[in-house]
Amino acid sequence: MRAALDTNILVYAEGLNGAPKKAVALELIGRLPGDSGVLPAQVLGELFSVLVRKARQTPRAARTAILRWQDAFPIIDTSAAVLTAAADLAADHKLGIWDAVIFSAAVAADCRLLLSEDFQDGFTWHGVTVVNPFATKPHALLETLIRG
């Protein structure tokens, strides 16, 4: 089973929203089995923006951070097919286009989960289910993934 990570997971892992969320994000990332985690390219672009705008890091420091994440996880490119599917998702389910790109990339990479605090927990589209890893009760699919 594969899982795509949304931007908020990386933002928390970078420590931008406090120590408790950083600890949970890092624990989650550390518990993902082998090659089960992937990153949509859109997530890295959003992370760069957050690090520069909100965390007030230099663009050079933000670049270093996204390169580190690129080394840690396979990247899902934003292809024309991903963008077209994202437009369908945005139009049919009232999502913002950039969130839809992340979701569509997860579908293209044959993910079963999209780990995110920003999408509706439990929403499923084309076989990918949104799971909030910060929820009080862990989702059964996330537990299955982590247990291997």
Closest CA to 7 of 96, 88, 81: 96
| pLDDT level of residue 17 (50, 70, 90 thresholds) | confident
Predicted local confidence at residue 119, as pLDDT:
87
| pLDDT level of residue 5 (50, 70, 90 thresholds) | very high
Closest CA to 75 of 67, 85, 83: 67
| pLDDT level of residue 138 (50, 70, 90 thresholds) | confident
Our count of domains for the chain comes to 1
**Overall average pLDDT of the 131-142 stretch:** 92
Closest CA to 8 of 107, 102, 106: 102
CATH code, domain with 24: 3.40.50.1010
Residue 114 pLDDT greater than 80, yes or no: yes
Task: Round to whole Å and give the CA distance between 99 and 88.
Answer: 12
Task: Round to whole Å and give the CA distance between 31 and 28.
Answer: 5
Percentage of the residues of the chain whose pLDDT score is greater than 90? 91
**Overall average pLDDT of the 63-75 stretch:** 97
**Overall average pLDDT of the 55-74 stretch:** 97
Residues spanned by the domain of 65: 3-147
Does pTM top 0.85 for this prediction?
yes
The better pLDDT of the pair 75, 18 is held by 75
Three-point CA angle 146, 99, 75, nearest 5°: 55
